[in-house]
Amino acid sequence: MDEGTDYFEALQGNLYPLKLGYIGIVCRKQKELESGKSIGEAVKSEKQFFNDHEVYKKMADKMGVPYLIKVLNIVFLNHIKNTIPTLKASISNLLQEKQCELAKYGELGYDIEDNKAKGRLILDMISRFCKNYDEILSG
């Protein structure tokens, strides 16, 4: 937003309502970027802009990048909270399926944390696969 702009009706959601509403921000201008204006300075001047602006000062506490960050964090955390139960159930089901599949291969008898045992395990599994494949082909 720049000086002289009035997006009050849009920010109130009167023109096009959004479920989460609108949050006005002030982006750094190209001249400010070239002059090396820091993000911290930009946030301070953004806050001052909203607090001093005749139209926006009524809603200054719900404007700016810091408020946008706060709202996005809340949205993100709520999404995570809503997704975790489904994700947990999906992982649990998949784990159960894989444990059943693993049980079909019989007892491993190896410590899978030991590198040498991992090699023996792989060779044993390949041997079992070959044996099962041979039995299928032989009838």
pLDDT at 1: 57
> pTM value?
0.62
Section 7-16 average pLDDT: 82
pLDDT at 122: 83
Rounded CA separation 65/23 (Å): 8
pLDDT at 2: 60
As a whole number, the mean pLDDT across the chain is: 86
Section 33-47 average pLDDT: 91
Q: What is the dihedral of CA 102, 106, 111, 113, to 10 degrees?
A: -10
Rounded CA separation 19/10 (Å): 13
Indicate if the pLDDT at residue 74 is higher than 70. Answer: yes
Of residues 100 and 79, more confidently modeled: 79
Indicate if the pLDDT at residue 85 is higher than 90. Answer: yes
